[in-house]
Amino acid sequence: AKQKGKRRFMFYNNSMEALVKSNLSVELELNKALKNGELVLFYQPIVDLTTSKPIGFEALIRWQHPEKGLIFPDAFIPVAEQSNLITEIGYWVLEAACKALPNFPPHIHISINVSARQFMDPQLATRMKQIIYQYHATPNRITLEITETLLIENIEQVVSSLKNLRDFGLGISVDDFGTGHSSLSKLKVMPISTLKVDRAFIMDLPDNKEDKELTEAILVMAQKLQLKVVAEGVETAEQRDFLVANQCNFGQGYYFSKPVPLDHALAYTERILIK
Binding site for Ca ion (CB under 5 A): 113, 145, 175-176, 232
Is residue 96 involved in binding ligand C2E (CB under 6 A)?
no
The SS3 call for residue 3 is: helix
Residue 60 binding: pick among Ca ion, ligand C2E, none (C-beta 5-8 Å cut-off by kind): ligand C2E
Nearer to ligand C2E by Cβ, of 113 and 161: the residue is: 113
* Separation of alpha carbons 132 and 95, rounded Å: 8
**Do 95 and 135 meet the contact criterion of CB atoms below 8 Å apart?**
yes
Kindly state the smallest distance separating residue 17's Cβ from ligand C2E, in Å.
Answer: 27
Q: Is 111 in the site for ligand C2E (CB under 6 A)?
A: no
Q: Residue 108 CB, nearest distance to Ca ion (Å)?
A: 17
Question: According to the binding rule CB under 6 A, does residue 259 interact with ligand C2E?
Answer: yes
Closest CA to 158 of 110, 118, 195, 186: 118
- Site residues for ligand C2E, window 52-91 (CB under 6 A)? 60-61, 72-74, 77
List helix spans (H) across 49-155: 77-80, 85-100, 124-134, 148-153
Nearest distance from C-beta of residue 250 to Ca ion, angstroms: 13
Expressed in angstroms, the distance from the first to the final Cα of the chain is: 59
Between CA 48 and CA 31 the distance in angstroms is 38
Binding site for ligand C2E (CB under 6 A): 44, 60-61, 72-74, 77, 93, 113, 115, 145, 175-176, 199, 233, 235, 252-254, 259
